[in-house]
Structure 1
Amino acid sequence: MTSLQEAQGHFDPWREVYNLERPHEALDLGTPAEHYRVSEREFVEQKEEYQYSDRYQIRRVNPVGQFRFRGQVYRVREAFQDQPIGLSETQTEGVWDVTYCRFVVASLNIRTGTIERHQPRG
């Protein structure tokens, strides 16, 4: 295949068979089209921005997943691009929790300049 248009030309017929003709064991040999229903929930394009409490220092993540804090640039994942994150001090000196909405997503150590993904406990 040499173009996206050519690839799409092959994909469209396959999708028809996959969704309308081919039986699926997980669907009791029915087709996905037989089981599909339109969601009753309305899609909201622009959600209201999460409001952090005063205990957080707020930073906005740039398009490549970086934010600036205390004169340094740190990198979290691009998934947070253009989103506000909250930073809060922990009981360990120099270590800050990096929070997205109400979830701790990383630990920032300003003494070593490192940021580590949060490991859930349990």
Structure 2
Amino acid sequence: SAQQAFDAWRQVYNHERPHQALDMATPISRYRPSPRAYPERMPPIEYGDADAVVRVGLNGEVRFQSRRFKVSSALANLTIALRACPNTDGCYDVYFLHHRIDTVDLKERSRSS
């Protein structure tokens, strides 16, 4: 089967075949488990007190100030923060955690896509 062929290839690739990038060592000889434990449950998402926090819908859209716009289906059911852009009325930077992922201008006619 394809799975058996892959398992055999993986054995050779990681345990037998020397790799030039590893000074001709095998990957298994360099592998070390991470000292950090993978959390059973991710900590809750927190944003600043001045942020407008909204939940992304299953379709990847959010509603904010009577407007709807697409963010990303990958963020479905998670919260994002909208922060007013300084010196620009109706403009908001969109954040997921500490990453700015977009900027929206609510004065534009439509952002749905």
Q: Do both share a fold (TM > 0.5)?
A: yes
Q: Which of the residues 99, 103, 111 maps onto 1:103?
A: 99
2:6 aligned partner, one-letter code: F
SS at structure 2 position matched to 1:106: strand
1:82 match: 77
**Per-residue displacement from partner, 1:73-101 (whole Å, max 9, x unpaired)?**
21122332322100121121221110112
| Aligned residue runs from structure 1 range 58-69, under 5 A | 58-69=53-64
1:100 aligned partner, one-letter code: F
Q: List runs of 5+ in structure 1 lacking aligned partners.
A: 1-5, 116-122
The alignment of Structure 1 onto Structure 2 pairs a total of residues equal to: 110
**Per-residue displacement from partner, 1:14-41 (whole Å, max 9, x unpaired)?**
1111111111111111111111112211
**C-alpha RMSD of matched pairs (Å):** 1.8
Pick closer, same or farther for the CA change 1:7–1:71 going to 2, 3 Å.
farther
Q: List runs of 5+ in structure 2 lacking aligned partners.
A: none
| Aligned residue runs from structure 1 range 1-122, under 5 A | 6-90=1-85, 91-112=87-108, 113-114=110-111
Q: Pick 1 or 2: higher relative contact order, CA cutoff 8 A, min separation 6.
A: 2
How far has the Cα of 1:57 moved from its partner?
0.9
Q: Normalising by the residue count of structure 2, what TM-score does the alignment of the two structures yield?
A: 0.84
Q: Aligned partners of 1:73 and 1:39: how far apart in 2?
A: 42
Q: Normalising by the residue count of structure 1, what TM-score does the alignment of the two structures yield?
A: 0.78
Percent identity of the aligned residues? 35
